[in-house]
Amino acid sequence: MSTVPSSSLRPLSLLWLGGVGLRLAILAVPPVLALIISDLALSGTEVGILNAIPVALFALIAVPGSLLIARVGAVKALVVGLVIAAIGSALRGFALDAMSLFAATALMAAGVAVMQPALPPLVRQWVPHRIGFATAVYTNGLLCGEIFPVVLAAAIVMLLGGGWRASLEVWSIASAVAAVVILVARPRAEGVTARHRRWMPDWRDPLLWKIGLVTSANNQLYFCTNAFLPGLLLQTGHTDLIRPALSALNAGQLPGSILLLIAASRLERRKWPLILSGVFGILGIVGVATITNLWGIACAAALIGFTCAIGLTLVLTLPALLVAPDDVPRTAAGVFTIGYGIAMLISIISGVVWDITGNAAFAFVPIGLALVPMVVIPLAIDLRTRRV
């Protein structure tokens, strides 16, 4: 990995922090999901809906987020999203039933949905000559935001008296702090380049749909595994494996993230890493659905995490790499709409399959089938040409 110029350290650090903020509030739930299921008596379908709400909002709010970026700039949109996410996350800790939990989760997810289209244009705006590396940096922050709540969950719950509610409040405070830091420390030369005239995605663009479908495969793999793995282990009586499995799933992303930090420029325009990620994802799903011993399920979960890290970083580089600068926010918004919209449907379908069969392992069948686009579609994308 090449040396990072000192002038790039601040924007790269803020991109990393923005990535952390994208996932802190969302991934605060899986480590305490078994406690929430027991406390609020959630069914399999309700667990699927709880997982689907963030994914649905990511799809529905992505285009309004692009409009917000066009009006106020990417930095302010990022900060507004962080604040909304922090408020929604805090309110989840006061939920008394499934409906109030769903409502607070929707508010939290709306904030994250506003943030997501802001980061690709900030990559191009702040680090225009190292798009792949800068994307890998903020993706590494995103992955750390997924890992922190899982790895620290046991200690936080213990310190706070064993409750899941206060644990959610802790991560909401962290999101608010991130918003303040980014607002205060942002590079001041925002100027005209921070504004983007066009904000509505071109829904007739085949490239948008190709990237969106590959993104959906990667998104649903990660979010659905996080949502249904605790329920599967709870149903099979292996509650002692929930934290190790989730830790392996999220910590498994770090090697993939580090690999992309080192080799982003060599992999960003290659098709085979995306295809191989889809194949590894299918193998990981088979493993988590069928293996019940500690090391086996930890290895399968870690393989899924590794796969998701590689796939996520590579697909997030594509809008900035393949389209004109002014089109990056709207293309990213369209990709998020498609990618998360399909992932939401997979989550709901998986929850319904669980309820119909009575077996949580069958929830992973739709997840595995939804990975097929990640194996096939990259073959049809021209990764060598950038539009102007």
User: What fold is seen in the domain 7-380?
Assistant: Growth Hormone; Chain: A; (1.20.1250)
Other Cβ atoms within 10 Å of 141 Cβ, number: 25
375 half-sphere exposure, CB direction, 13 A CA radius:
11
- Higher pLDDT among residues 48 and 76, named by residue: 76
Question: At 323, phi and psi to the nearest 5?
Answer: -120, 165
Determine the residue type at 211: I
pTM as predicted: 0.77
Q: Tell me: pLDDT of 259 over 50.
A: yes
- Count CB neighbours of 361 within 10 A: 17
What local confidence, expressed as pLDDT, does residue 214 receive?
95
Query: Above pLDDT 90, what percent of the chain?
Result: 33
What is the average per-residue pLDDT within 301-319? Answer: 91
Angle between helical axes of 164-185 and 131-159 (0-180°, round to 10): 140
- Contact by Cβ (8 Å): 214, 336: no
What angle is formed at CA 366 by the lines to CA 363 and CA 370, rounded to 5 degrees?
145
Please give the Cα distance from 388 to 385 (Å, whole number). 10
Assess contact for 111 and 81: CB atoms under 8 A. Answer: yes
In tens, the pLDDT along 185-218 reads: 888 754 444 455 678 888 999 999 999 999 999 9
Encoded tokens for 149: 């709540």
> According to DSSP H, which parts of 160-293 are helical?
164-185, 206-235, 242-251, 253-267, 272-290
Query: Would you place residue 16 in the very low, low, confident or very high pLDDT band (cuts 50, 70, 90)?
Result: very high
- Nearest-angstrom CA–CA distance, 240 and 246: 11
Indicate whether 236 pLDDT > 90.
no
CA dihedral of 50, 231, 86, 315, whole degrees rounded to 10? -80
Host H or E run for residue 18: helix 6-23
Residue 351 DSSP SS3: helix
pLDDT value at 336 more than 50: yes
Residues 217, 222, 226, 227: what is their CA dihedral angle, to the nearest 10 degrees?
-30
Q: What is the DSSP letter of 186?
A: S
Q: Do residues 334 and 301 touch, judged by C-beta distance below 8 A?
A: no
Q: DSSP of 124-169, one letter per residue?
A: HHH-TT-HHHHHHHHHHHHHHHHHHHHHHHHHHHHHTTS-HHHHHH
Query: So what's the pLDDT on residue 193?
Result: 45
Cα(260)–Cα(133) distance, integer angstroms: 8
Per-residue tokens: 281: 């994802």
pLDDT of residue 166: 80
Structure confidence at residue 197 (pLDDT):
65
Backbone φ and ψ for 351, nearest 5 degrees, come out as -65, -40
Mean pLDDT of the chain: 86
Token pair 């979960």: residue:
301
pLDDT number for residue 1 = 47
* pLDDT score of 7: 62
In the block, which residue shows the tokens 């990417």? 74
DSSP state of 347: H
pLDDT at 162 over 80: no
**Nearest Cα residue to 242 out of 33, 46, 22:** 33
The distance from CA 158 to its chain's CA centroid, rounded to whole angstroms, is 27
Residue 85 CB neighbours (<10 A): 31
Q: How far is CA 343 from the centre of its chain?
A: 11
d(CA 152, CA 383): 39
pLDDT of residue 69 exceeding 90, the answer is no
Amino acid sitting at position 175: S
Q: Which residues contact 99 (CB under 8 A, 6 or more apart)?
A: none
> What are the respective helix, strand and coil percentages of the chain, to the nearest 5?
85, 0, 15
Give residue-wise pLDDT tens across range 89-141.
999 989 889 899 999 999 999 999 888 888 888 888 888 878 888 888 988 89
Burial (CB count within 10 angstroms: exposed 0-12, middle 13-18, buried 19+), residue 40: middle
The amino acid present at 57, given as its one-letter code, is L
The most confident of the ranges 70-74, 272-276, 384-388 is 272-276
What confidence score (pLDDT) does residue 307 get? 93
